[in-house]
Structure 1
Amino acid sequence: MSTPGQLNGRNRLLYPTLPRGEVVATFESYPQAQEAVDVLARADFPVDKVSIVGSDLKSVERVTGKLTWGRVALAGAASGAWLGIFFGLLLIIFSPTVSLAFVLAALLIGAGFGMLWGIVTYAVNRRRRDFTSVQQVIATSYSVLVDSDLGNRARNLLAGGGAQEPAAAAPAPGWTPPAQPQHPSDPPPAPPADAPQPPVQPAPPADDRPTA
């Protein structure tokens, strides 16, 4: 008789559920989402509370080339040669008296049968499939989810690149820092036209007394 705890654990294994939480960032590719998780990990964020969820799965088949008789024969020979080497080495392990010449013979025989099998298969399926391809299942977007109580912290870390930098002091209102000259020998820039001019001091009165 099984306990309810065991049944619940078995159900979680048999029927996985989607993670729940708060979306803190969304990316177009998986490497970008993985880099965001790495940023959180470097900031000592509890990454066991993070999940990457791909949305809108699509099956993509990328055509890599066209099948030809030569390519089919070469691929079949390579597959047969690996199979021949495997059986030859296996026989040497269980029968040490067998020489390496038997492995070479097994390689040639396997390559020949593999080439023949590839050519026959291509001749039968040539009209239905005349190209090679690679199939992939990718998502349109990838979302980084965290627990709801950690959402704000995760956003702050991702916004700052994982490092908490002190905020720069804000300049005083109504004051603009002067532009620095490009070289110490260059003259400083002229003040703007609308800048207030300093008051002009009146010149001292001339001395009208006759000189001796």
Structure 2
Amino acid sequence: MTIATYPNYLEAQRAVDRLSDAKFPVDRVTIVGTDVRLVERVLGRMTIGRAALAGAGSGGWFGLLVGVLLGIFAVGAWWQVVVFAVVAGLLWGAAFGAIAHAMTGGQRDFKSASNLQASTYSLMIDAEYAGQARQILGETAAG
């Protein structure tokens, strides 16, 4: 049973939080988004240089992980193993990032972030608990 509808997810989340604070059995609550759409925000242009830089970052972190794991077993200068692994990771990551971007043939020359958004968010609650939930939400909205 729908007891309330909100224009954004944050307000629906706050309502569930108010119910939780009032010791309401929130496992009986469902937030339902309607008219869902995919929104993709373009963050900027992707060039071979940026792809190489992103690849270098990922490769550097991977190299650090491998270097630390191998450095544990190294006798003597363990830090040299770590430094070598990070540098190798940076170089390989940059190379693979640049090559992967070049292979797209200009198909996707931008970076973006996607998320799902709904027009409204409804609080649905089992019918036996709907009255109690309405009362709690009415009291917290008034007070």
Same-fold status (TM-score > 0.5): yes
Distance 1:130 1:144, change over 3 A: same
- In the alignment, residue 134 of structure 1 is paired with which amino acid? A
Paired position in structure 1 for 2:137: 158
Distance 1:98 1:139, change over 3 A: farther
SS of aligned partner of 2:24: coil
The correspondence for 2:75, drawn from 87, 97, 106, is 97
Higher-helix-fraction structure: 2
Distance 1:61 1:98, change over 3 A: farther
Q: Deviations over 1:137-157 (max 9, x none)?
A: 232221111121332332222
In the alignment, is the contact (CA less than 8 A) between 1:43 and 1:162 conserved in 2?
Answer: no
User: How far does residue 126 in structure 1 lie from its aligned partner after superposition?
Assistant: 4.2
Normalization by structure 2: what TM-score? 0.87
The correspondence for 1:57, drawn from 36, 44, 68, is 36
Q: Distance in 2 between matches of 1:40 and 1:102?
A: 54
Higher-strand-fraction structure: 2
Normalization by structure 1: what TM-score? 0.61
Aligned-residue sequence identity (percent) comes to: 41
| Larger RCO, structures 1/2 (Cα 8 Å, 6+ apart) | 2
Paired position in structure 1 for 2:46: 67
Paired position in structure 1 for 2:124: 145
Paired position in structure 2 for 1:14: none
Q: Distance in 2 between matches of 1:32 and 1:49?
A: 18
The alignment covers a number of residue pairs equal to 142
- Which structure has the larger Rg over C-alpha atoms? 1
